[in-house]
Amino acid sequence: MSNNAEVIDMRVPAKPEYVGVVRLAASGVANRLGYSYDDIEDIKIAVAEACTNVVNHAYAQDSKENTMHVEFTVHQNRMELMVADRGGAVDVETLKNKGPVSKDQPIEELKEGGLGLFLIETLMDEVDIRGEAGVIITMTKFLQRDEVKAHAEGASKESPQQ
Amino acid sequence: MNLDIDVQEKKGKNVAFVEGEVDVYTATKLKETIQPLAEGEHDLVIDLSGVDYIDSTGLGIFIGALKASEKSEGSMTLTGLNDRVRRLFEITGLHEVIDIDAAKREEA
């Protein structure tokens, strides 16, 4: 069995109309790998959120560079999705730590934005955010296949013997 | 990728039937339709039974509409959410602040 990861690499304009294109591509790759319907939906939302951040925040309007770099790396047991820009503009710390909405919060204080990264962190198994020439978000979703289920079943068989 | 919005007046309420995918591309159209309705004094019902994808951009539009409807003392209710869409409202805690109707859909 080969351990070589396969890479799907795309550079697309950082424009709203291309977010759906990236989402469809991610969905196609995840589907090919055998992810469940729910996991594919999670992956679609996470990659779209990362792209939406780039579209909304990465580049100034008059910027010459206006590209997002999207890379899917397919391993045997997981898929990594990276979204990077070269906008350099966003302070990575400001993206972090935006939690869910609280019902105790007055409605007029609710924020329309800021849920994107929270969703990414909730829907994916591992998330890494770095700031370099721009923001680089790497998200991982593990593939829950039969072997995992078999392992879980094996573990539960052992446990009652205590 | 498409988003269709059809607004009908029913028993003094505005009902917006939304169909398609709500993301950063289609969100502008949704906001341009929903926001003025939320700012008006009629109660607003948004039927999402035709929506199969939504992300934080769409959620943000409903937060904006909720704020507007509070200000104008109208009401805003979402209805017809499929399991996936409902789950997103639950994960983000928005189901605690937005009125979500359990009924399947508004009668067309």
Question: Are A143 and A79 spatial neighbours (Cβ–Cβ below 8 Å)?
Answer: yes
| Alpha-carbon span A69 to B49, nearest angstrom | 34
Please name the residues between 82 and 101 in chain A that touch chain B, using a CB distance below 8 Å: 100-101
Kindly determine whether residue B55 and residue A48, on different chains, have CB atoms separated by under 8 Å: yes
The alpha-carbon gap from B108 to the nearest alpha carbon of chain A, in Å, equals 28
Q: Please name the member of A38, A110, A116 whose beta carbon is closest to the beta carbon of B56.
A: A116
Q: Please name the member of B57, B63, B71 whose beta carbon is closest to the beta carbon of A110.
A: B63
Candidates 3.90.1170.50, 3.30.565.10, 3.30.1540.10, 3.40.50.2020; CATH matching A6-161 = 3.30.565.10
pLDDT of residue B50: 97
Would an 8 Å CB–CB cutoff place B59 in contact with chain A?
yes
pLDDT of residue A86: 92
Please give chain A's pLDDT, 162 residues, in tens: 556 899 999 999 999 999 999 999 999 999 999 999 999 999 999 999 999 999 998 888 888 889 999 999 999 999 999 999 998 756 777 766 567 888 888 888 888 778 999 999 999 999 999 988 899 999 999 998 655 454 555 545 444 444
The pLDDT confidence band at residue B19, using thresholds 50, 70 and 90, is very high
For residue B71, the chain A residues in CB contact (below 8 A) are 108
Query: Tokens standing for A23?
Result: 């989402």
pTM, 2 dp:
0.87
Residue A26: name the closest of A40, A6, A11, A12 by CA: A40
| Alpha-carbon span A79 to B81, nearest angstrom | 29
Q: Please name the member of A52, A112, A116 whose beta carbon is closest to the beta carbon of B64.
A: A112
How many Cβ contacts (< 8 angstroms) between chains A and B? 81
ipTM field: 0.90
Residue range B16-32: mean pLDDT, rounded = 96
pLDDT of residue A107: 83
Q: Please name the member of A52, A103, A122 whose beta carbon is closest to the beta carbon of B57.
A: A52
Domain borders along chain A are 6-161
Domain borders along chain B are 3-101
pLDDT of residue A162: 42
Give per-residue burial for B65-92: e unless 16+ CB within 10 Å, then b: bbbbbbebebebbbbbbeebbbbbbebb
pLDDT of residue A58: 87
Would an 8 Å CB–CB cutoff place A13 in contact with chain B?
no
Kindly determine whether residue B97 and residue A107, on different chains, have CB atoms separated by under 8 Å: yes
pLDDT of residue A68: 96
The tens digit of pLDDT for each residue in B57-102 reads: 999 999 999 999 999 888 999 999 999 999 999 999 999 999 998 7
Q: Checking DSSP bridges between strand A126-131 and strand A135-142, what pairing results, if any?
A: antiparallel
* Residue B99: partners with Cβ closer than 8 Å, 6 or more residues away: B75, B76, B77, B78
Residue A99: name the closest of B98, B94, B22 by CA: B94
CATH code linked to domain B3-101: 3.30.750.24
